[in-house]
A and B are shown apart, each in its own frame.
Chain A
Amino acid sequence: MYVTFRLGALALAIPAAAVDEIVPATGVRRLPGMAPAVAGVMLSGGGVLGIVDLALLAGSTPTDERAVVVLAGAPRLGLLVESPDAVPGGTDEAAAELTDAPLPLQGALRCAESRFHRLDLEKLRRRLRALPAGRRQRGGEDGDPDSGSR
């Protein structure tokens, strides 16, 4: 089972096991001083969720009608995406032609007539950790980027 969504013309998929839930993008609170690719924060599951705008991270134009795919694992992370859906599975395919894609991809998945590029969540998390590395806290206290709080 996969959760699929769109980023402009790009169709993406992640394993459903990596997803906690999909929620409407209401209640996302923008905060002063956020990183450019961050849409805001919201409460989910009793905790604060950082919401990454995949369109902004990829340098494309965000649309208005989107939802938040809440990822399992730490740090708590939500992806603001277009048209989330689910597909039962499919056949793995190589996707070498997208090595310069704006997001980390890991092969592709064909399901019926549709083809989805797999989003590499580990590399995505690493990219997020790298964005503010060493500059996010005062007094040179880098802390654990996965700690989820300051």
Chain B
Amino acid sequence: MRLFLFRLDAEWFALRSEHVRGVLPRDGANPGAARLSVPGARSSDSAANLIVVACPGGAEALLEVDGVTGLVEVREDAVQGVPAFVFPEAAVTVSGVFAWDGALAALLDPAGLDLRPAPPLAS
């Protein structure tokens, strides 16, 4: 499967390629665009890029990340499920993990990310 790999708060994360529409420089986005954040992850002071994420329902929102590796190919069976007791909440943020560069990368489910909608346009 094709995954979009990036770093956030010194950890590896990934999204399925179909959930990523593009990458923008940090200052290259509309400041009024909807934003995403990873629940429980510390926000980064050094975010270098914004990933344009396709959210459920077709809308797009931006996720700040520290560094982008880009598209990588990962075997389907390399992504393993996480034991159910690890997550107590209904909104599942991590749909699996896989080994990457000597560490574990977390595959994110866009539906589990926190969405801060775009502010209404000023009249």
Residue positions of A touching B, CB distance < 8 A: 27, 29-36, 38, 41-43, 47-50, 52, 75-77, 128-129, 131-132, 135-138, 143, 145, 147-150
Contacts and interface: CB of A to CB of B under 8 A. Distances in A.
B69 to A, nearest CB: 17
4 tightest Cβ-Cβ pairs between the two chains A and B: A149-B81, A50-B83, A32-B40, A132-B88
Interface string B51-77: 000000000000000000000000000
A48 B80 contact: yes
B86 A35 contact: yes
12 contacts: A29-B104, A31-B94, A33-B39, A42-B104, A48-B82, A50-B86, A132-B84, A137-B84, A145-B84, A148-B81, A149-B83, A150-B92
Specify which of B83, B97, B111 lies most central, judged by the most chain A CB atoms within 10 Å of its CB.
B83
Nearest to B40: A32
A41 B82 contact: yes
Nearest to A149: B81
A77 B85 CA distance: 10
Nearest to A76: B83
A48 B89 contact: no
A44 B46 CA distance: 32
Given A75-B83, A148-B83, 8 more contacts: A30-B11, A38-B85, A42-B104, A43-B99, A132-B89, A136-B87, A136-B88, A137-B90
Contact of B93 (A32, A50, A77, A135): A32
B76 to A, nearest CB: 13
A48 B99 CA distance: 10
Given A32-B41, A135-B89, A137-B90, A50 B104 contact: no
**Range of interface residues on B (Cβ < 8 Å):** 20 to 34
Consensus secondary structure, chain A interface: loop
Contacts of A50: 82-83, 85-86
A33 B81 contact: no
Contacts of A136: 84-85, 87-90, 92
B85 A29 contact: no
Given A34-B40, A149-B80, A29 B88 contact: no
Given A138-B111, A149-B81, A150-B81, A41 B93 contact: no
